[in-house]
Amino acid sequence: MATLSFSAAVAQWADKVDGAVEAVFKEATHEVVEEMQKPAGQGGRMRVDTGFLRASLLASTAAMPSIVSGKNPTPGSGPNSYATSFDQVEAVIAGADIGDTLYFGYTAAYAGHREYGSNGQPADGFVRLAAQNWPIIVDRKAAELKARLGL
């Protein structure tokens, strides 16, 4: 008798539990975005000085938020001058349907330079590496939901 992979078993289970697929989708999406936003000083990949880059994150179900040329922190901004609010991102995730494509993008002018590196600066890869963890995060969120439901 063949055994199912963990992912296949989770998929079978999720299809039978009303709302499970949507819950796993939204919780996993939230965690990927949290991983993108995690500062290097807390084990993440994003270098944070003023907090401007983190604060520039937007979410959409319509199109990728665009980098805005010239959108930079105010000269002389001190450490953590820009507060990060997750409200807009949370609202998009909460309002998304399972078939929606979700876009998360940074509008700070230097977002691409931080992600991919430039001018001798190394690439941080905070978006790409978080996205690569999607299958692992989905499996973990499904297992957590299954445990919470006592299944």
Distance CA 67, CA 26 (A): 25
- Residue positions counted in the chain: 151
Q: Is 62 exposed, middle or buried (0-12, 13-18, 19+ CB in 10 A)?
A: exposed
Confidence of residue 148 (pLDDT cuts 50, 70, 90): confident
Buried b (16+ CB within 10 A) or exposed e, 28-46: bbbbbbebbbbbeeeebbb
Helices 20-37 and 134-148: angle between axes, nearest 10 degrees: 130
Distance CA 52, CA 34 (A): 16
Q: Tell me the pTM.
A: 0.85
Measured CA distances, 131 to 66, 73, 95, 119, 127 (Å)? 18, 26, 20, 25, 6
φ, ψ at 99 (rounded to 5°): -90, -5
Contacts of 59 (CB under 8 A, 6+ apart): 33, 65, 88, 89, 91, 92, 93, 102, 103, 104
Confidence of residue 29 (pLDDT cuts 50, 70, 90): very high
Distance CA 23, CA 30 (A): 11
Confidence of residue 1 (pLDDT cuts 50, 70, 90): very low
Query: pLDDT (tens digit, 9 = 90+) per residue, 63-94?
Result: 999 999 999 999 989 888 999 999 999 999 99
